Structure 1
């Protein structure tokens, strides 16, 4: 009760100024929180965009460096090295396909076909030739 009496004794401008001050403190505090939250989300988004841009720039720089090296080598009159890995892998794939085809051909050739033995050939060049009877 004692505190309320003291507050009542202040003049109206003092009370309005006190209310305005409290309101200002409240608004600044909430604005600070809002700005802090916005800054955090912007920092996260900026970090993510920065990482993506860094990856993109890094890969572009690697490609540019590779192309510049190839251009320098070409201007110096040096031929590019043979892609030995590609050549060896192509040879191994070709050998595997050849081995598979050879195995399949041997398997097909070794199979006995009994229908071939039962075929009887007839001479059709002679019109009156007798047909053999068994």
Structure 2
């Protein structure tokens, strides 16, 4: 009774942050459980499947770790970093398309 009235007096952002934290902890825990289950199943299925399972477990753990980091950063109020690789690749592709269009336009203008 006493604890519930204390929790009701917290501010809305605090309650939202607590709920988000609980969801994050739950998601990381369930990801760990599924990774452990996948590893157990791989061990039962034999050594031939162990390599495939380790790749699966590694990628699942890596994805869980990446998502947990993003969630933690979001809870801390940090914005995600810009995808510089994608931006540079798009700029280079745009430059290549522009160069090709300019060359084609000059060639078409020279024929006329």
Q: Paired residue for 2:74?
A: 74
User: Which segments of structure 1 move beyond 3 Å, counting only runs of 4 or more?
Assistant: none
Unaligned runs of 5+ in 2: 1-42
1:1-134 map, 5 Å: 46-112=46-112
Q: Which has the larger radius of gyration?
A: 1
More helix by percentage:
2
Q: CA RMSD in A?
A: 1.7
Unaligned runs of 5+ in 1: 1-42, 113-134
1:23-73 per-position Cα deviation (integer Å, ceiling 9, x unaligned): xxxxxxxxxxxxxxxxxxxx9x61122332222111100100000000000
Q: TM-score, normalised by structure 2?
A: 0.57
Q: Which of 1 and 2 has higher RCO (CA within 8 Å, sep 6+)?
A: 2
Equivalent position SS for 2:46: helix
Whole-angstrom distance in 2 between the partners of 1:53 and 1:99: 47
